[in-house]
Amino acid sequence: MNSISFGRYVNYDSFVHKLDARSKILFLICLMIMIFMPFSVWSTSLIFSLIYFVLLIVLMIMSHCSFLSFLKGILSMWFLFLFLIIIFIFVPNPNMSSVLLYQFSDNYAIYWDGVYQAGYIFLRLILMMSLTLILTATTKPLDLTYALEWYMTPLKIINFPVHTIAMMISIALRFIPTFLDEAQRIMKAQASRGVDFSRGGLFKKMKAVISLIIPLFISAFEKSQQLSDAMEARGYDPNSKRSKYRKLKFHLKDLFSAIFVFTLVGFIMYLSIAHGNIDVIDFVFGVKVGF
Amino acid sequence: MPIDVKDLHYIYFKKTPFHADALNGVNFHIDNNKFVAFIGATGSGKSTIIQHLNGLLIPTSGEVKVDDFILTSNKRKNKSISKLRKHVGVVFQFPEYQLFEETVEDDVAFGPKNFKVGKEEALLKAHQALLSVGLDESYFKRSPFELSGGEKRRVAIAGILAIEPDILVLDEPTAGLDSRGCEYIMSLLKKMHDDNKTIILVSHDMDLVNKYCDYVYVVDEGKIVNQGSPKDVFVSQDLKGDLEIPKIYYFCRLLKEKGIDLDINSINNLDDLMNQIIERIKK
């Protein structure tokens, strides 16, 4: 791993980092709901999206996320955008009442509305994804697991193995970097034997990947066997009650952020539900913009 | 093939929060047919140095020159890396983890095949390499995964030998083996060395280094802090980087503390030490 991709946990000491993992998950869900609140006037939706973007950037600066890697992440999603545009433009929509883009024949035409819809969905996807990545970039994977375990606690009533699942997730997360290291080591060893992972035809590449995957699987099985032995040797029993080394704690920060997030989300939800057809430009400037 | 390394710097995770200077200006020259060891504490940069020798790592700055092949930070100039890898074989720590084929001979033949050797010839080379590491025909068709640890390691080393490199680089080849396995691997390397190959070794086992190597580099914090023949390094100067010294010199030191001063400069191995002690007793 020579570059830090957007969303990988980096240990900074920011406000967002210090928030409790449970509140961050809750805020993420709330903000996602907010992003997907519909407005019927397109200029209003666009303006709100812009506001969300500004908030996102503020959040990114607060949490020391690199703006460059964020842009790179968006650019790598161009294919999704193309896909959305094609679907939204070419699938006929009987309710379309917007400006004609091109008339193919008497009963088939494409409209600007499709472009707008595709763009809007893409915008919301980017917002949603970025928020999630900010969460993972600012929260230790283990804390996230503990937070999920905390949210799943009520399921214990129906004998759902919450703790076992949480343990599985945390072990899986714990071993991702280990296996990345392992993969890199094996790749280097095979490169010394003349394997070129980047060049060559399909068959050669397949052979190259096999020479990586088989040793990786073998070491994974060995490691899991060792780990389970080590856990058992130290008396691990999935069904017994366990205390925790790391405790999640709500702080005053969490309260303040909660007040801010809930107010914002509440306001947007109120606007969307009660005044879904509001035209912000008309409301503020008294000008009608539209097709 | 002589190796020339000039002012080699390497930085892991450059321009990220994980930035780490691994090498800070390493210089050395290794002539043909030498038996050289790099020693140093864990994390001193030994393995990083080694990975530059066949282009697995590209220098952040400085130059690595192996015969005609030159590696610099300029990526466009480093075209012939795969050719370089044919001449410099690197055996990593715990190489048994790189085995993946169904039979031992296929796994060993994998290397030569990658360097565009025909199938038949690759198998022939594999058989030769396996015989040279002491695994006879009965092993050829077995699965590498059912072998013992020491045997697996020998198969993995054979996998590099089959490429027929001129320079053999090994990162801790004896780690985790019992003393017989260690001696076996080292005598194997000695044999390769007698066959006109250059052997470069990273090791923590000072006794083996002392016994087999002609020249030792001591690496500490990404720099070569000491070099010379094993005796020079272990006896004359104080050893940097918390290294232990070979048992025979340690024994001499203990004897000296008890008032028995041996001529340490004429002791190269266990036999010399014994002879000197016997002479002392006779006197």
Q: What is the residue-wise DSSP string for chain B?
A: --EEEEEEEEEETTTSTT-EEEEEEEEEEE-TT-EEEEE--TTSSHHHHHHHTTTSS--SEEEEEETTEEE-S-GGG-TTHHHHHHHEEEE-SSGGGG--SSSHHHHHHHHHHHTT--HHHHHHHHHHHHHHTT--HHHHTS-GGGS-HHHHHHHHHHHHHTT--SEEEEESTTTT--HHHHHHHHHHHHHHHHTT-EEEEE-S-HHHHHHH-SEEEEEETTEEEEEE-HHIIIIISPPSSSPPPPHHHHHHHHHHHTT----GGG--SHHHHHHHHHHHHH-
Contacts of A214 in chain B (CB under 8 A): 100
Beta carbons of B13 and A192 less than 8 Å apart: no
Q: How confident is the model at residue B162 (pLDDT cuts 50, 70, 90)?
A: very high
pLDDT at A2: 40
Residues B82-120: b if buried by 16+ CB within 10 A, e if exposed: bebbbbbbbbbebbbbbbbbeebbbbbbbbbbbbebeee
Model confidence at A283: pLDDT above 70: yes
Q: Which residue of A has its CA nearest to B12?
A: A2
User: pLDDT digit string (tens) for A68-92?
Assistant: 777 887 787 788 888 888 888 777 7
pLDDT at B264: 76
Half-sphere exposure of A10 (CA within 13 A, CB side): 19
CA distance B154 to A93: 68
Instruction: Classify residue A199 by its DSSP letter.
Output: S
**Residue of chain A with shortest Cα separation from B107:** A211
User: Is B134:B154 a contact under the CB 8 Å cutoff?
Assistant: yes
- pLDDT of B232 strictly over 60: yes
Q: Does B173 touch chain A (CB under 8 A)?
A: no
pLDDT at A4 over 60: no
Q: Which one, of B6, B182, B203, lies nearest residue B93 by Cα?
A: B203
Query: How far does Cα A207 stand from its chain's mean position?
Result: 33
List strands edge to edge, sheet with B215-220. B88-91, B167-171, B198-202, B35-39, B215-220, B223-228
Contact B172, B93 (CB under 8 A): yes
User: What does the pLDDT average to over A223-247?
Assistant: 86
**Interaxial angle between packed helices B104-114 and B149-161, expressed in degrees from 0 to 180 and rounded to the nearest 10:** 30
Give the 3-state secondary structure of residue A66: coil
Instruction: Spell out the SS3 assignment of B48-91.
Output: HHHHHCCCCCCCCEEEEEECCEEECCCHHHCCCHHHHHHHEEEE
Chains A, B: CB pairs < 8 Å: 63
The number of helix segments (H) and strand segments (E) in chain A equals 11, 2
Give the model's confidence band at B158: pLDDT under 50 very low, under 70 low, under 90 confident, else very high: very high
Tokens of B85: 């890898």
Q: What is the dihedral of CA B79, B82, B85, B91, to 10 degrees?
A: 120
The conformation of residue A250, written as its DSSP 8-state character, comes to -
B16, B95, B145 member nearest A189 (Cβ): B95
Q: Cα–Cα distances in Å, from A115 out to A42, A64, A112, A244? A: 12, 34, 5, 52
The string of DSSP codes covering A81-123 is: HHHHHHHHHHS--TT--S-EEEEEETTEEEEHHHHHHHHHHHH
Task: Report the share of chain B in percent with pLDDT over 90.
Answer: 32
Residue type (1 letter), A87: I
Side-chain-facing half-sphere of B2: CA atoms under 13 Å: 5
| Distance (Å, whole) CA B60 – CA B3 | 18
Report which residue type is found at B238: D
Please report the pLDDT score of residue A5 as a whole number: 63
- A283 or B158, which is more confident? B158
- Say how many Å lie between the first and final Cα of chain B, rounded: 49
Report, as an integer, the average pLDDT of B12-40.
87
Superfamily of chain region B3-229: P-loop containing nucleotide triphosphate hydrolases (3.40.50.300)
* Beta carbons of A192 and B92 less than 8 Å apart: yes
What's this model's pTM, rounded to 2 decimal places?
Answer: 0.73
B224 vs B238: CA distance, rounded Å: 14
- Assembly ipTM: 0.86
Domain range annotation of chain B = 3-229, 246-283
Dist CA A252 CA A242 (whole Å): 28
pLDDT per position as a tens digit, A156-189: 888 888 888 888 888 888 888 888 889 988 999 9
More confident residue, B78 or A92: A92
pLDDT in tens, A186-220: 999 999 998 888 777 788 888 888 999 999 999 99
CB A133 within 8 A of CB A73: yes
Interval A108-124: pLDDT, tens: 777 777 777 888 888 88
- Give the residue among B26, B88, B28, B17 at the shortest CA–CA distance from B61: B26
Q: Which residue has the higher pLDDT, B260 or B118?
A: B118
CA angle in degrees (0–180, nearest 5) for B177-B181-B187? 130
| pLDDT averaged over every residue in chain B | 87
Residue A58: CB atoms within 10 Å: 10
Q: What region does B228 belong to: left with phi over 0, alpha with psi -120 to 50, or beta? A: left
pLDDT above 70: percentage of residues in chain B? 95
B145 and A CB contact within 8 Å: yes
pLDDT, tens digit, 9 for 90 and up, residues B80-139: 788 888 899 999 888 888 898 899 999 999 999 988 888 999 999 999 999 988 889 999
The predicted pLDDT at position A1 comes to 38
Tell me, what's the pLDDT at B215? 92
Instruction: Please check the confidence at residue A3 and state whether its pLDDT lies above 50.
Output: no
Contact A188 B159 (CB under 8 A): no
- Is the pLDDT at B39 greater than 70? The verdict is yes
Report d(CA B147, CA B101) in Å as an integer: 13
Q: Which residues contact B206 (CB under 8 A, 6 or more apart)?
A: B39, B234, B243, B244, B245, B246
Residue B217: pLDDT band with limits 50, 70, 90 = very high
Q: Which residues in chain A have their CB less than 8 angstroms from residue B145's CB?
A: 218
Which residue of B lies nearest to A213 if distances are taken between CA atoms? B100
Torsion angle in degrees (nearest 10) through CA of B102, B108, B110, B114 = 180
User: Is A185 close to B159, i.e. CB distance below 8 A?
Assistant: no
Q: How far is A71 from chain B (nearest CA, A)?
A: 17
Side-chain-side CA neighbours of B268 within 13 Å: the count stands at 5
Instruction: Place A290 in a pLDDT band, splitting at 50, 70 and 90.
Output: low
Interface of B with A in 94-123 (CB under 8 A): 95, 97-100, 110-111, 113-115
Contacts of B82 in chain A (CB under 8 A): 194, 196
pLDDT per residue as tens digits for the range A9-59: 888 888 888 899 999 999 999 999 999 888 887 788 888 888 999 999 999
To which H or E segment does residue A206 belong?
Answer: helix A202-233
Q: What average pLDDT score do residues B197-208 get?
A: 90
pLDDT value, residue A52 = 92
